[in-house]
């Protein structure tokens, strides 16, 4: 989310559209949600943990391709080089400190149906403003490789 000085810009309210509050926490939430519908094997969970570690540690696209060759649960072309770089660059993004620093402003949160509950809970917990949520069914509309 872009950083703004809400006091200097005379902002009266904020609108968040599908914000990535904390990338890895949100990824973990989505993984747990997916697994609640269709549990993963221990092997797939181990492969996903390796993938997460590679992203969190800033692994290169070549490292990702090598990893994809050793596991059966994802393919090298699941990530384009550009999408991989985007994921690695943003994996550590965490706007919770920014939320805590916001003045008491109303917040309208518009988020995809699958992430709306988690995002609303996180925004409400870390900001002093009143947060209203609208859930939409367009979560996941953007295709990989377009970032």
Residue 69 has pLDDT above 50, yes or no: yes
* % of the chain with per-residue pLDDT over 70: 73
What tens digit of pLDDT does each residue of 76-109 get? 899 999 999 999 998 988 888 887 777 777 888 7
The separation between CA 12 and the C-alpha centre of its own chain, rounded to angstroms, equals 26
pTM: 0.69
What tens digit of pLDDT does each residue of 38-53 get? 999 999 999 999 999 9
3-state per-residue secondary structure call for 38-65 = CCCCHHHHHHHHHHHHHHHCCCCHHHHH
147 against 47, higher pLDDT: 47
């Amino acid at each position: 989310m872009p950083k703004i000085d809400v006091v200097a810009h005379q902002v009266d309210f904020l609108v968040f559209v599908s914000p990535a509050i904390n990338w890895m926490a949100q990824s973990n939430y989505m993984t747990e949600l997916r697994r609640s519908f269709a549990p993963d094997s221990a092997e797939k969970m181990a492969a996903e943990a390796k993938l997460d570690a590679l992203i969190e540690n800033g692994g290169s696209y070549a490292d990702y391709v090598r990893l994809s060759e050793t596991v059966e649960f994802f393919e090298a072309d699941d990530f384009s080089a550009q999408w991989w770089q985007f994921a690695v660059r943003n994996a550590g993004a965490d706007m919770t400190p920014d939320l805590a620093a916001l003045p008491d402003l109303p917040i309208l949160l518009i988020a995809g149906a699958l992430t709306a509950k988690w995002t609303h809970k996180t925004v409400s917990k870390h900001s002093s403003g009143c947060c209203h949520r609208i859930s939409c069914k367009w979560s996941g509309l953007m295709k990989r490789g377009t970032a």
